[in-house]
Amino acid sequence: MSTPYPPEPWDLAGTGHLTTWAVPTSALPALPFSATPVTVRGRAIVSTAFVAYSAAGLMSYDELLAAVVVRHGRRVGLSITDIWVDSETSMLGGRGLWGIPKDLASFDGLAAGTEGGPIASASFTPRRVPGVPLPFPLRGSVVQTLGERTVANPIRASGRLRPAAAHWDLSPDGPLAWLRAGRPLTSVVAEDFRMRFGR
């Protein structure tokens, strides 16, 4: 019987709206047991993103995520603590292949919510400067818990980055309320990006 999602790797394409935050470590949700947050002056580095994947890649769907920069062994990677998509295929594949805790949500542009209420919304104003192409594909890893093991899954991304001013509205009763203890540092719009996820 075939699985209800494509095998890895997934080649995806689209546009991302990303913000980096500094968050007190005491506010962080649980991380994989053998991963520790990378900290600067007692604060962890967190990334949030609304991503719109297009039909130019394997699948077309919307996504909202929060990820903590972590150290896993000698390497540094991202651990996705919260993530929502509007594709059941993506949800099942993320969970089954890589241990990414995807849940379903509805999206309206840069806003996401569930039947339980709103999660978050954001507005981005790109700076009036040309997007800067990444000089080479960025390589990294996503560190998750899969089958009671901590696993690091490779990612590779390319595209153009444009600095932006951003404002996030995080529901005080929602699952991303822990981010309200932090402060945003920088924001960018990732234009025409492509990403290969998995082995």
Would you kindly state where each structural domain of the chain is located, as residue ranges? 10-197
Task: Give residue-wise pLDDT tens across range 11-48.
Answer: 999 999 999 999 999 999 999 988 999 999 989 999 99
pLDDT of residue 163: 92
Please state, rounded to an integer, the average pLDDT across all residues of the chain. 94
CA distance 85 to 73: 30
For residue 116, the model assigns a pLDDT of: 92
Transcribe 14-39 into DSSP letters.
Answer: EEEEEEEEEEEGGG-----TT-EE-E
- For the chain, residues with pLDDT lower than 70 are 1-2, 130-136
According to CATH, the topology of domain 10-197 is Acetoacetate decarboxylase-like (2.40.400)
Q: Return the pLDDT at 133.
A: 67
C-alpha 131/C-alpha 15 separation (Å) is 12
Q: Which two tokens stand for residue 69?
A: 């920069």
- DSSP, residue by residue, 60-123: -EEEEEEEEEEEETTEEEEEEEEEEES-HHHHHHHHHHH---EEE-EESSSEEEETTEEEEEEE
